[in-house]
Chains A and B, each alone.
Chain A
């Protein structure tokens, strides 16, 4: 699987937007960009995924660079419940090889200050 690079930690204030970056310079054309988050004492939770176009859902937005070598997860208004480890993961979306595997790095620990 192609590798991703994320900052170890970030801090935000409650009710402010948060932009979590992810670099994936070796991404292949069939790799989808997935984001999961893990709250304390919980399993990972799916947040969003995309291929080329920006994506929005009820949890977050995903902005993908035109060259796809980086992406940003956007939380529009952080709440205390958004404090978690956020993982950016690449996954081959076209059935090649072992695309069912999620390869987690260490992720970004997001702290939200009240």
Chain B
């Protein structure tokens, strides 16, 4: 596609429920990143995929968070037993590779998750 697509754009869920957030990167982009942005703050790194594998998941806050990218394209961020503190905008980005020659990353518009 022309850009990074994230679905849904908004998600309201009850505390304790399970949610999945989807990211469709730009076709051909091998690198994919998830970030989380709380109100009034800059985005914070969660996880980086190179192809199908998670090269760095050090930003995931705890084991309730998990992400997959089984075929090296679409990625899903999964959150179990959601808590109110998980409420944020979850952003996905992709790039051809992570070296400088590829320029910048392309971000999606994000999924706004609200846990009530």
Q: Which of A36, A43, A93, A104 has the largest number of chain B CB atoms within 10 A?
A: A43
Residues from 38 to 87 in B contacting A, C-beta threshold 8 Å: 40-45, 48, 55-56, 58-59
Q: How many angstroms from the CA of A98 to the CA of B33 in the assembled complex?
A: 13
Q: How many angstroms from the CA of A32 to the CA of B100 in the assembled complex?
A: 8
How many residue pairs link A and B with beta carbons under 8 A? The number is: 63
- Whether A93 lies near B100 (C-beta < 8 A) is yes
A44, A46, A99, A102: the one contacting B103 at CB < 8 Å is: A46
Given A100-B33, A105-B42, A107-B42; A46-B104 close (CB under 8 Å): yes
What is the interface residue range for chain A against chain B? 20 to 34
Can you add 20 more A-B contacts, CB < 8 Å, to A100-B33, A104-B43?
A32-B100, A42-B107, A42-B110, A43-B91, A43-B108, A43-B109, A44-B43, A46-B106, A49-B100, A51-B100, A85-B42, A93-B100, A98-B56, A100-B56, A102-B45, A102-B105, A103-B45, A104-B44, A105-B42, A106-B42
